[in-house]
């Protein structure tokens, strides 16, 4: 009887200690980030790495590789690299994974998700759950939604108010097929290019225009190349905070929780940076009160205007004209994204 009890105690002790003993962290976990450390997105990625180090007492060391340096600049390859484990962690754009994960193109339907409220409803709703399941099925554990932002059009040639104004413009877009289709509908001459090459292309005037959110445009000082900006919120660019699924499963439960908490917190911070000034006081207040930020960024549009940019805000009628013009993109892409996912998104936004 007594002997039996010792055996049980010994077995319980071994079971308790085993998982800890079995986990040896790597010296460094790599992280893919398409942009540099000065962008809101880069700041969020660094914050995630820092919070993981803090919460795990230095056990897990994540190093962000900015500018897609692990992918030789090929930003649209991140999903494969994280899914097959050649990169461990990721904070990157849904657009850059949308040629592999079809459902991510939901976010790129033109003039569909047009407010932050709708973005949040979809990400946290039924459509979001479906997309997260797709990301995970392919081998990337989803941790949190960050945000690059609503993408706006800038160019060096003319003010854009109606679809005809876009016709003939040479516009740099990401190498994602739906973007090519959208700009084709608008009659633009679209050129796909990695971000690593895009800024040089603006400098040299190889292209007339591009589309990106304010968080990107202020860092590259877009006003140095383009005089005109149209705020058309034509589509939203969410970011994924994620990790290779096998790597995730290797982490003990307590480490998983610490990593998840770090991602949730860093993503909230990053989203607030990306939305600062664009949602009234909401995100600014999150930065000030929750994250104790004292040095707030400058108001982006006033800054752009002070640098000589002309900013055009579209009326509902003008927006409707753009939506009408890009309708063939829905006819082609909704079936590819999935009619049912599209319907879930419409329900989520109600
Ligand atoms: O390449 C872009 O335009 C950027 C930086 O916004 C993305 O990575 C999607």
Ligand 1 touching residue 77 (CB < 6 A) = no
Q: How many CA atoms lie within 13 A of 311 on its CB side?
A: 17
The per-residue pLDDT for range 88-109, each reduced to its tens digit, is 999 999 999 999 999 999 999 9
Pocket test for ligand 1, best of 174, 175, 178, 209 (most atoms within 8 A of CB): 174
Burial class of residue 305 (count of CB atoms within 10 Å of its CB; 0-12, 13-18, 19+): middle
Delimiting residues of CATH 3.40.190.170 domain(s) in the chain: 2-101+138-148+237-275, 152-235+298-349
Pocket test for ligand 1, best of 150, 209, 237, 239 (most atoms within 8 A of CB): 237
Cα(161) to centroid(ligand 1), Å: 24
Closest atom of ligand 1 relative to the 211 alpha carbon: 3
Does pLDDT of 1 surpass 80? no
> How much of the chain exceeds pLDDT 70, in percent?
94
Ligand 1 touching residue 76 (CB < 6 A) = no
The residues with which 239 forms a beta bridge, in sequence order, are 93, 146
Cα 209 to Cα 171: distance, rounded to the nearest angstrom: 5
Cα 143 to Cα 238: distance, rounded to the nearest angstrom: 13
242: left (phi over 0), alpha (psi -120 to 50) or beta: beta
pLDDT for position 22: 81
3-state secondary structure (DSSP) of residue 330: helix
2-101+138-148+237-275: CATH, from 3.40.630.30, 3.40.190.170, 3.40.50.620, 3.10.20.30: 3.40.190.170
pLDDT for position 4: 57
Is there a contact between 334 and 99 (Cβ–Cβ < 8 Å)? no
C-beta pairs of 9-16 under 8 Å, 24+ apart in sequence? none
Cα 206 to Cα 156: distance, rounded to the nearest angstrom: 11
Does pLDDT of 3 surpass 70? no
DSSP state of 286: I
Does pLDDT of 14 surpass 90? no
Pocket test for ligand 1, best of 201, 209, 216 (most atoms within 8 A of CB): 216
**Closest residue by CA, ligand 1 atom 4:** 195
Does pLDDT of 249 surpass 60? yes
Closest atom of ligand 1 relative to the 237 alpha carbon: 9
**Closest residue by CA, ligand 1 atom 5:** 195
Does pLDDT of 21 surpass 70? no
Which among 117, 114, 131 has a CA at the least distance from the CA of 341? Answer: 131
User: Max Cα separation, the chain?
Assistant: 90
Does pLDDT of 213 surpass 90? yes
Mode of pairing for the β-strands spanning 236-244 and 89-93: antiparallel
Does pLDDT of 20 surpass 70? no
pLDDT for position 297: 87
Look up the CATH number of domain 152-235+298-349. Answer: 3.40.190.170
The per-residue pLDDT for range 157-207, each reduced to its tens digit, is 999 999 999 999 999 999 999 999 999 999 999 999 999 999 999 999 999
The per-residue pLDDT for range 291-350, each reduced to its tens digit, is 999 999 889 999 999 999 999 999 999 999 999 999 999 999 999 999 999 999 999 999
Is this prediction's pTM over 0.75? yes
pLDDT for position 301: 93
Ligand 1 touching residue 195 (CB < 6 A) = yes
pLDDT for position 239: 98
The whole-number average pLDDT for the span 66-77 is 98
pLDDT for position 7: 60
The whole-number average pLDDT for the span 23-43 is 98
Mean pLDDT, all residues of the chain: 95
């Amino acid at each position: 009887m007594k002997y039996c009890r010792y055996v049980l105690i010994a077995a319980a002790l071994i079971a308790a200690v085993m998982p800890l003993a079995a986990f040896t962290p790597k010296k460094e976990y790599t992280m893919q980030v398409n942009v540099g450390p000065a962008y809101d997105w880069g700041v969020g990625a660094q914050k995630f790495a820092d919070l993981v180090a803090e919460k795990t007492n230095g056990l897990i060391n994540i190093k962000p590789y900015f500018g897609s340096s692990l992918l030789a600049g090929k930003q649209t390859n991140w999903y494969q690299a994280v899914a097959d484990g050649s990169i461990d962690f990721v904070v990157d754009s849904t657009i850059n994974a949308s040629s592999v994960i079809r459902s991510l193109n939901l976010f790129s339907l033109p003039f569909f998700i047009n407010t932050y409220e709708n973005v949040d409803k979809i990400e946290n709703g039924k459509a979001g759950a479906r997309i997260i399941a797709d990301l995970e099925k392919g081998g990337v554990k989803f941790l949190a939604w960050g945000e690059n932002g609503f993408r706006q059009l800038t160019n060096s040639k003319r003010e854009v108010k109606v679809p005809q104004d876009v016709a003939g413009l040479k516009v740099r877009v990401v190498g994602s097929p739906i973007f090519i289709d959208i700009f084709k509908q608008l009659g633009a001459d679209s050129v796909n290019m990695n971000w690593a090459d895009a800024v040089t292309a603006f400098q040299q005037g190889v292209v007339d225009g591009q589309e990106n959110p304010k968080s990107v445009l202020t860092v590259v000082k877009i006003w140095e190349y383009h005089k005109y900006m149209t705020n058309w919120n034509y589509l939203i660019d969410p970011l994924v905070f994620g990790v290779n699924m096998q790597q995730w499963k290797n982490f003990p439960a307590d480490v998983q929780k610490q990593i998840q908490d770090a991602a949730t917190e860093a993503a909230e911070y990053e989203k607030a940076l990306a939305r600062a000034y664009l949602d009234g006081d909401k995100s600014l207040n999150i930065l000030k009160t929750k994250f104790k930020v004292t040095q707030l960024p400058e108001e982006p549009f006033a800054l752009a205007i002070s640098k000589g940019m002309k900013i055009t805000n579209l009326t509902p009628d003008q927006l409707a004209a753009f939506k009408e013009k890009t309708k063939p993109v829905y006819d082609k892409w909704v079936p590819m994204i999935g009619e049912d996912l599209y319907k879930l998104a419409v329900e989520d936004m109600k």
